[in-house]
Amino acid sequence: MKQRPHNTETPSELERKLEIDYNSGAKIIEVPSSQLPPGVLGMYDSITHTIYVASDISEHDRQFVYHHESGHAQGLIDECKTDAYASSRVGYNIRPLRKMDRLAA
């Protein structure tokens, strides 16, 4: 659990954007989709154990993408199984509205 400095009442910009996924222990970083490969809404970097989620998509899409990438961070590799994990967490699947490769790794 991240601890805030005692002299601040609200999280700093960095703290707000850098959180930890409790399911995998991975860092979560929200980035503008312009910083992700074209058409990609999220990525998991296994080298740095970091989840990237596009910050400029709807909360509905962002939740699914986050749980999809969390699935990868927990060791899921197969895209369909990772989608199934994500939809089990959020109760819906955005994939029918997206091309299969849009969530990327």
Residue nearer to Zn ion on the CB measure, 63 or 82:
82
The residue count for binding Zn ion (CB under 5 A) is: 3
Site string for Zn ion, 22-61 (x = CB under 5 A): ----------------------------------------
Q: How far is the CB of 5 from Zn ion (least distance, A)?
A: 36
Full 3-state SS string of the chain:
CCCCCCCCCCCCHHHHHEEECCCCCCEEEEECHHHCCCCCCEEEECCCCEEEEECCCCHHHHHHHHHHHHHHHCCCCCHHHHHHHHHHHHCCCCHHHCCCCCCCC
Residues numbered 64-93 forming contacts with Zn ion, rule: CB under 5 A: 79, 82
Residue nearer to Zn ion on the CB measure, 30 or 65:
65
Residue ranges that bind Zn ion, judged by CB under 5 A: 79, 82, 103
